Structure 1
Amino acid sequence: MTTRLNPYISFDGDARQAMEFYQDALGGELALNTFGDAGAPGAEVAADKIMHGMLETPAGFTLMAADTPPGMEYRPGANISVSLSGDDGAELRGYWEKLSAGGTVAVPLAKQMWGDVFGMCVDRFGITWMVNISGE
């Protein structure tokens, strides 16, 4: 898998409906995982809400989305992040180091409950970046 850059949109409880709408509009395969599926903390409150959704279209577009996790603030206007994902750990760790330098690390780059290495930071310009290294 090559490294991909794509938008990641946060929703206030309607990620499923939004992603189904985008699938209808853009076509493609939609995968939705709920907080309940993952056994995430606070999942009992948001068991049916989307922890991670990904739409991959025939045109090569990838759109990711999630409902804002329990305990985190939904901020309209600041609800889009940039995601870098793939399986080249060295490449992605290099991006992480550069993007997080001078910024704020919200989630340290580390192995997560779904098995991938993931981190989230806000760069020095206020842009939220998510880095996901699959299968590491």
Structure 2
Amino acid sequence: MKVLNPYLNFNGNTEEVFNFYKSVFGGEFSTLMRFKDVPADVPMDGCVDTEGNKPAENEGEKIMHIALPIGNNILMASDVPSHMEQVKGGTNTSLSISVESKKEADSIFAALSEGGTVIMPIDNMFWGDYFGMLTDKFGIQWMVNFNAQQQ
């Protein structure tokens, strides 16, 4: 079954925001990964600016990915590194779709990216998922994800 969840981006205060949401909705974070947790040998294609710069060393404590289950949904977010374009209302939300196979992920990614912009090509990621990011031709940001272990 496909699952669609909201994904939010913030300019450095994701941890504060999600601690607030946790106080409102309860529960525990199912994932909390900081930029400093990314292995040094992993290319950060989706987290670099046009000159190929990675997040600054002083941004290591910022949130690369956080997830808070709320009912049958998961609210997810990350901080945008300071060298990338900072977000504002309207550009800080993505739709994250989890699918049942790599084939389905490829099909959905290709269809959504037609006429749009690929932000991070779909590929196997260091955290174990098959993942890609894009903005469709209508300006909506999408994350397509397949996790074989959750099948």
Give the structure-1-normalised TM-score.
0.88
2:16 corresponds to: 17
Q: How does 1:1-136 map to 2 (within 5 A)?
A: 2-30=1-29, 31-39=31-39, 41-42=54-55, 44-57=57-70, 59-77=71-89, 78-135=91-148
What is the deviation of 1:43? 5.8
Q: Which structure: greater strand fraction?
A: 1
Aligned residues: 134
Structure 1 range deviating more: 97-106 or 87-96: 87-96
| Partner secondary structure for residue 62 of structure 1 | strand
Percent of pairs identical after alignment? Answer: 41
- Rounded to whole Å, the distance in 2 between the matches of 1:111 and 1:70 is 26
TM-score normalised over the length of structure 2: 0.80
Contact 2:12 2:62 in 1 (8 A): yes
Deviation string 1:48-97 (CA, Å, 9 cap, x unpaired) is: 1000000012x223100000034211120211111112452222222111
**Where in structure 2 are there 5+ consecutive unaligned residues?**
45-53
| Root-mean-square deviation (Å) | 1.9
Structure 1 residue ranges (4+ consecutive) displaced by more than 6 angstroms after TM superposition = none
Question: How far apart, in 2, do the equivalents of 1:122 and 1:86 lie?
Answer: 18
CA distance 1:70–1:134, change in 2 (3 Å): farther
Specify the code of the residue in structure 2 equivalent to 1:132: N
SS at match of 1:119: strand
CA, structure 1 residues 70+132, in 2 after alignment: closer, same or farther (shift >3 Å)? farther
Distance 1:116 1:82, change over 3 A: same
Displacement after TM superposition at 1:10 (Å): 0.3
